[in-house]
């Protein structure tokens, strides 16, 4: 099996959400999908925390963490 990535986990989570919203699954199948969704959510949260930590390390200057806007800053400022 290929290594799970944030993107593949998020895509699978979206698919599970669609399947659960349709309401066509049995209770047992719904619970299995829900459990898989919880596991995927935990995986995605872990990956996001890791990414946030890496960004914070990269932004650390002179021993202090300086918060900077992400992506929406005007380059002419």
Which residues on neighbouring strands pair with residue 64, listed in sequence order?
Answer: 61
Q: Considering the domain boundaries, does residue 77 fall inside one? A: no
Question: Cβ(16)–Cβ(37) under 8 Å?
Answer: yes
Tell me if residue 67 falls in helix, strand or coil. Answer: coil
Q: Considering the domain boundaries, does residue 31 fall inside one? A: yes
Q: Which domain holds residue 18?
A: 14-59
Q: Considering the domain boundaries, does residue 29 fall inside one? A: yes
Question: Cβ(56)–Cβ(68) under 8 Å?
Answer: no
* Total number of domains in the chain: 1
Q: Considering the domain boundaries, does residue 22 fall inside one? A: yes
For the record, the structure tokens of 55 come out as 């960004």
Q: Considering the domain boundaries, does residue 43 fall inside one? A: yes
| pLDDT tens digits, one per residue of 6-64 | 999 999 999 999 999 999 999 999 999 999 999 999 999 999 999 988 887 777 766 67
Question: Cβ(44)–Cβ(16) under 8 Å?
Answer: no
Q: Considering the domain boundaries, does residue 2 fall inside one? A: no
Q: Summarize the confidence of residues 69-76 as an average pLDDT.
A: 52
Q: Considering the domain boundaries, does residue 37 fall inside one? A: yes
């Amino acid at each position: 099996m290929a290594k799970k990535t944030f993107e593949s986990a998020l895509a699978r989570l979206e698919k599970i959400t669609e399947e659960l919203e349709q309401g066509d699954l049995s209770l047992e199948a719904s619970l299995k999908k829900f459990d898989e969704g919880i596991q995927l959510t935990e995986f995605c949260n872990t990956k996001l925390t890791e990414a946030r930590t890496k960004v914070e390390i990269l932004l650390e200057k002179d021993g202090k963490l300086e918060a900077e806007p992400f992506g929406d800053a005007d380059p002419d400022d």
